[in-house]
Each structure stands twice: as C-alpha cells, then as structure tokens.
Structure 1
Amino acid sequence: MAGGRFAPGHLGELTQLVPFEMVDAALSATRAVQSRLRDLPSRVVVYMVLAACLFPETGYPGVWRKLTGALAGLPVVAPSASALAQARRRVGSKPLRWLFDLLRGPVATGHGPGACWHGLLVVALDGTVLTVPDTPAVMTRFTKQAGNHGGTGYPQVRLLALVACGTRTLIDAVFGPTTAGETTYAPRLLPSLRPGMILLADRNFGAQKLVADSAATGAEVLVRLKNGRRMPVLARYRDGSYLSALGGLRVRVIDCEITITTTAGKHTGLYRLATTLLDHHRHPAAALTTLYHQRWEIETAYLELKSTILGGRVLRARTPDGIDQEIYALLVVYQLLRTAMADATSTRDGTDPDRASFSIAWQTARDLVIQAAGVIADTVIDLVGTIGLHVLANLLPARRLRVSPRIVKRAISKYQARGPRIDRTSYKATTGINILAPAGP
C-alpha cells in the first residue's frame, strides 16, 4: 500500500492498470494537486471517485469504508460525507478526463469475428442516454426529455462512444445534453478514426456529410441506410451489389433480405448497406452483410455499463461538473475492466474475448477493492492476475445465434403490466441472407 494518508488511495488489483504515478501525473497535468497535504489528498480522492463506480449502490461514506476496511493497523481518517463532497469538488473532473484520454483505445485486437476483418480493426459508433439527478444545478445544463406528461422524471445525458467490437474497449467517447442529437456529437469522435479501421454504424448515422467525413479520415465505412432512400445505380456487380454515390463520395450499396428462423417461426427484414469498400471480389456483399451484425457489440457494451455496473441507477452527482467527473470515472473503470479481460484472454490462444464474463470481472474487482489486494504489482509481470484467473476459470460458451424480443421488461405503469402476455423467450436461430439486385437494366 501507499504510506501514511495516501494508504486509502487504491483500486484493488485494478490499481496496477492505473498506478499511483499515473494518477499523480493526471493531477499535475490538470493542476489539481492539493496546495497542502490534507487528510484527503487529491490522489486518494481520485481513487475514491473511481471506486464509487464499482459500488454505485453505496454512498461515498460507504465507499470510503470499503477502501479502508482492510487497512487495519494503519492510521486512516474517517471523513464526514460533507468532507468527502468538498474533496470531490476540489479535485474536479479534469483529472478523470485526463485519465480517460490516456487509457482509451482498442487495447488488444483479440480473436473472433468482431476483432479484425480482412486486416481492418472493426469499430462501431452509437449512442445512449444516462439518467442524472433532478436538481436545480443539474437542470442548468441537462434537461428532461419532452413527453406527453411534461417530460421524463429525470434529466438525461447523451453519451456517444466509439468501441472496438472485438474487445468492447472504448476508443473514444463524448457526452452532453440531450438537446443535441447523436449526429451532432458524432463528428467529435471522427478524429479517433484512422486508416486500418472499418466503422459500423446504424441508419441514424447515414447522413451524407457524416459518412464523407468519416471516410476522409482514411477509415473504411459500413453504414446502414434507410430503405426508402433513392440511390443512383452507376454500375452493377456480380454479387448483387451496385456502385452508387453519396454526394461526391463513391460507395457500394447492398440491398439484402435477412430471414431469422426459430422454432416460433420466421421473421424477414430488409436492409440497405453502404460501404466505401468498392472491390466486390475482395469484399463480397454477403460477407459485408454478415460483418454488419458485429455492430451490436456496442449495444452489449452499453448494457454492461448501464445494467451491470450501474444497475439502472441514476447517477449520484448533483452538479454539472460532478456529473462530468462521475461519467469520466465510469468510463475509466469500464475501460480498466475490459483491459483486464482482454489481457487475460490474450494469454490463451484462440480464446474469443466474447467468452469473458464482464459480471465476473466486475464482481472480482469489487472484492479485491474491499480486500485491498493486489494493489502493487509483483516483480514478475502477469497479464492475468486474480481478475483474469476468475475470468478464465468461468469462460462463457462460444457465442450462439439467438434472438429475443427487444422490449421494456419493467413496465412504467402497473396497469400496462396487466396487458397481453409477451413472449420473452430467447430462441436459437438460423440466419438466411438474400442479396437483392436492383431492378432495371
């Protein structure tokens, strides 16, 4: 452990991924180091804010008790809730943002269909919303969604992320008020694209300028378009795709029919995809259609962030800067967990990171914080560690194709819950892809 007043400043085994020197560098770079040594040094406060993301069900005094519970015999302070709040305000959000900017990235490419495709790193772009407290200070920046009953009960934050599909690690993220849409925030993520990537995005991001700007970074693009959108047919290819244009950008368009078959029946949907990969010999239409399914990895990442870590809870910060601090801390903790999982699976050849359980990594990290275990790395570098050992000992089965209805399982009103019964069964499925050639000569 660190000595003296710095002893409570740790994150269990995850401290090895965000060591003391890194946090000190973040505080120094953002000028957030305490002017005098306090009972709550700035480094300790940063670790406490990070640890709070592992224990969202607990107030900050409870988080402090978890950080110090295994430090028997050491002279640690017992600060009040007010002192902890003042310390968080003193540190601010900038050191947490600095840490996120340092730690974000695709980590290892891993194995499996979502990692690399034809030598291209597969990444996905999408957005979600987080719920924040309904306080006057928060309402000065974040607003409630408009609705039939005057808006939702809580203000919300719009979060957009760029995720590496193979490991679900965060390459970049931005957030802000929901008064701006996803396509307004998306251009801020484009500087994180580079040659050697292929970007997957849904039809909300199929705007002509956004696709062109994404392609201008050197990354390839595979984006869904609205089915009714008129696309000129400039040339036809043998795989059923055709050359077209989005403004001045040449793209290849794939119209396809996807059929999902289960024991409960069949469901068919029409998809229109546009890509900057123009060589139909090297990148056939059917292969690109199959690849597009990897876009759902970012939805799973949001599930892990909002459901596994937060448990559907409202964020705890009650000021705009506090919300910035908490969200950056949440993104840092998510990235640390995903990094530990990717490091562990990389030590076992042929193991797809999809098989690593996020819940097990999260629960193990929580236990190690309470035990104050593995804070400082041994002299021998070990990519696995205790978190990795638990993950590797409890690998999930290989990914199976299954479908489940996309519905709200917790009704807002008890009266809605009394409606017709909804089949929530997950079915094993098979997929059929039929490429539809455009009509005409």
Structure 2
Amino acid sequence: MQLKEFSLVSLSIESGEVLKAIETAIPGKAIEQVLGQTDSRETRKRKLPSHLIVCLVIAMNIWSSDSMRTVLKNLVKGLRTQWLKLGQYWRVPSPSSITEARQRLGCQTMSRLFHLLVRPLATAETPGAFLFGLRVMAADGTVLDVPDTPANAKVFGYPGSPKGTRAAFPKIRLVLLIEAGTHLIVDALMCPYRIGERVRVKKLLRSVTPGMLLMWDRGLHSYQMVQATQMQGCHFLGRVPANVKFVPERVLDDGSYLAWIHPDGKSKKKGFNKILLRVIEYTIDSETGQKTYRLITSLLDPQNYPALVQAREYHQRWEVENTIDELKTHLNGRKTPIRSLNPREVVQEVYGWLLGHWAVRSLMFQAAQQAGISPLRLGFTGTLKVIRAAIPEFQNTPTEQLPFFGHG
C-alpha cells in the first residue's frame, strides 16, 4: 500500500475563517479594520500573519490551560483537517516564532479592537437590565498577578509587604464598567498597581450616557465621582463609607432624605459647587447580625423612585463580582493568569482576555434573546465549552449550514 504524499502548505486564510464560530461577536472585518488603522499588516507574507495572531491572542484565553503552540493547533484544527484531505501539512511554528509575532503585533491593535466592538446590548425586554427605565451599569476593579520579570516589576510594581520582604508577583490593576443585566464588560482600563482604583474608575465615565444608572461600592465614593457622573448626564446609585456624614436638608415621606455633598479642596479650586442628592439608609438582618447600608442617589423623587426599590436593586451591583469571577476563574483559571513576560505583551494579552469574555457573553445574550430568557440564566462555563468545540467545527462547515450565531 502506498502512503499518500504530503506537501508543506503556507498559511493563507482570511480572518473570518478562523473565528467563524463567533463571527457575530468578533467579525473578521473588524479585525482587518483595526489592522489597517494601526498599520499592523505585514509587508511580506509570513507564516504567522497579523490577523492570525489577533485570533491567537483571543484564543489563548479560551484555551487558557494549554501552551501557546497547542492553542494555535486548536485554533486552526478545522482548517488543518481540510489541508490534510488535500495532502497538505502545516507545521506549527515554534514558541519563539509565536513570541516574535506577538511582539510585531504590539498592543494597540487589541485595545482598538476591544473598544471598537464592546457596547451595551440589553434591550427593554432583557430581564433585570433596566430600573425605572434606566440601563443598570456597575463599576468596580480587580488586580491580576503578572509574571515576576524585571520589566513587569518596573512598569506595574508590587503590592505592599512587610519590611524586608517582597510580594511574589507584580500586579496590574484593572477597572471595569459592566452592564449588570448581561455581564458584558463595555469598557476597561488597566494601570500599574500603585495607581488607585478610585482614580482610574473616573476615566471609565467616558462610556456612561444619559439613560443609564451607574452603581458603585463605597470604595469608589467621592465628590469627584458624583460630579463627573452627573456631567455625563448619567444617574447614579452608590454606597458610601461609614465615616462620610450628611446633614439632612429635608426628610422625605419614605424615610430617605435630601442632603448636600460638598466639593473637596481640589474640586472647589476648579469652581465646582455642592450637589444635592438623596440619602437612603436601611438595615439588613443576617446570621451574623444587622448590617446598615447608606446609599446616595441622583434619583430624588420618592414617588417615582421609591427608596425600597432602590435599596433592593442596589444589590444588582454584585453582578460585577460575578463578572470578575467569570473572567478570572471560569475563562482563565490559571494560577498566574497572565503569561506574558513583557509589559506590552501583558497589555495585549489582557485585551485579548477581555475580548474572549466579550465573545462568550455576547453569544450568550444572543441565545437568551432568541429563547426569551435572561442571559444570566445560562451557564458561562457550559457556553465556553460549546465555543471551544464549535471553533474547529465551523471551519469545516459551509456557511449556509451554520446556526444563527455563526453569521449575522
């Protein structure tokens, strides 16, 4: 019996062929668009073209437990099957070649792609996505360990530790703006660990608009946060620390009261004035005793915006914690979540990670919308498993036979 002869094939595929299974979340045209905007297209034919590396940086978080070479094999598995049928063989590049290709791509392409694609998706029919006709948003932050290299340590820094000791890993701070009813991350910023969460989260307000209700926890409370949110035309509902005091101006029928928040010294120098807000205080009984919460809100009318409803719905803010858990535990789950040894590739990888989460969550939203249920009722881990299996399968399937989430 004569064995079939194989010839070595050069990779020549379009962006849309690689991620066909998640085309509605991350279109190939969008990848090509940002490559053109950032001048990231290669001038000569390469075994690892830029559009494939963009797909790889996203996929390395979908198959987070695998090596980079294995991720690349998974990513083009369906295409390799087709090549083998034609007697063609594609040799997987070495780890050093993959690293060099990532370095050529840089981080700007991934950040541009993220900001081009992400947006709120909930509609008026999405359960729990709106309160008083306002789209519920939540802001919060987290920190991520990065590999302990001199370059990462210099840029991102270590957390504090007892004198004479040093933390095991440098850390990067990540702040997120999340649509509570879908768990979609619609904006994100990263910075060195030493820059506080409260400082960076104010920059996320660039993505809030009129018609939204932004929720935040007590660690983000400040006059500047209140003032900047109102400047965007966005309503807010935030928790305040115990040491912050308010003098009641007028007690309302439901027990909440109106009060002024005064500008800090820096804001006063800029000419900002005190802001009228509403304070809602309530107590929750638990197994460990009673816990008192104080919320401030720009929704001043007790008839249209009852305090009891706001107090109950404020706890939707914890959806942001569930989203961070999806990102750090279910999507990634690595002991040290970041692989990259240099800061530019760290930033590139984090944006790929965020895009991976966007792909899973936006497809979950589409599926839930078709079924007429809340996207929060679907399992994140189960959806991720479906996507892992679908990526190579869709590469082998004619477009006209693809399910609804293959092509819009």
TM-score, normalized by the shorter chain, greater than 0.5: yes
1:5 to 11, 29, 34: 11
Residues in 1 aligned to 2:74 and 2:401: alpha-carbon distance in whole angstroms: 28
Aligned-residue sequence identity (percent) comes to 30
Are 1:306 and 2:332 matched, yes or no?
no
Are 1:249 and 2:275 matched, yes or no?
yes
Residues in 2 aligned to 1:64 and 1:15: alpha-carbon distance in whole angstroms: 18
Alignment-derived partner of residue 212 in structure 1: 227
Cα deviations across residues 327-373 of structure 1 (Å, max 9, x unaligned)?
00001110111100000100122x1111011001111111223x342
Cα deviations across residues 151-202 of structure 1 (Å, max 9, x unaligned)?
3201111000000000010121001111000111012111101100000000
Are 1:332 and 2:355 matched, yes or no?
yes
Q: Using the TM superposition, give the Cα deviation of residue 312 of structure 1 relative to its aligned residue in structure 2, in angstroms.
A: 4.1
2:216 to 181, 192, 201: 201
Are 1:36 and 2:44 matched, yes or no?
yes
Alignment-derived partner of residue 343 in structure 2: 320
Which consecutive residues of structure 1, in runs of 5 or more, have no partner in the other structure? 387-441
Map 1:7-406 → 2, pairs under 5 A: 7=13, 10-11=18-19, 13-70=21-78, 71-72=80-81, 73=84, 74-109=88-123, 114-148=128-162, 150-247=165-262, 248-260=274-286, 265=287, 267-314=289-336, 315-349=338-372, 351-369=373-391, 371-373=392-394, 378-379=399-400, 383-384=404-405
Which consecutive residues of structure 2, in runs of 5 or more, have no partner in the other structure? 1-8, 263-273
Alignment-derived partner of residue 6 in structure 2: none
Residue identity matched to 1:249:
I
Closer, same or farther: CA 290–39 of 1 in aligned 2, 3 Å: same
Closer, same or farther: CA 113–15 of 1 in aligned 2, 3 Å: closer
Residues in 2 aligned to 1:328 and 1:213: alpha-carbon distance in whole angstroms: 26
Residues in 2 aligned to 1:12 and 1:63: alpha-carbon distance in whole angstroms: 16
Instruction: Tell me if structure 2 keeps the 8 A contact 1:111–1:353.
Output: no
Residue identity matched to 1:122:
V
Instruction: Tell me if structure 2 keeps the 8 A contact 1:106–1:164.
Output: yes
Q: Using the TM superposition, give the Cα deviation of residue 4 of structure 1 relative to its aligned residue in structure 2, in angstroms.
A: 5.9
Q: Using the TM superposition, give the Cα deviation of residue 378 of structure 1 relative to its aligned residue in structure 2, in angstroms.
A: 3.3
**SS at structure 2 position matched to 1:87:** helix
What TM-score do you get using the length of structure 1 for normalisation? 0.81
Closer, same or farther: CA 380–251 of 1 in aligned 2, 3 Å: farther
Q: Using the TM superposition, give the Cα deviation of residue 45 of structure 1 relative to its aligned residue in structure 2, in angstroms.
A: 1.2
**SS at structure 1 position matched to 2:155:** coil
Instruction: Tell me if structure 2 keeps the 8 A contact 1:67–1:372.
Output: no
Residues in 2 aligned to 1:107 and 1:162: alpha-carbon distance in whole angstroms: 13
Residues in 2 aligned to 1:157 and 1:304: alpha-carbon distance in whole angstroms: 18
Cα deviations across residues 273-322 of structure 1 (Å, max 9, x unaligned)?
00000001111111110010000001000000000011143210110000
**SS at structure 2 position matched to 1:317:** coil
Q: Using the TM superposition, give the Cα deviation of residue 111 of structure 1 relative to its aligned residue in structure 2, in angstroms.
A: 5.1
**SS at structure 1 position matched to 2:19:** coil
Instruction: Tell me if structure 1 keeps the 8 A contact 2:141–2:173.
Output: yes
CA RMSD of the aligned region, Å? 2.1
Residues in 1 aligned to 2:96 and 2:14: alpha-carbon distance in whole angstroms: 18
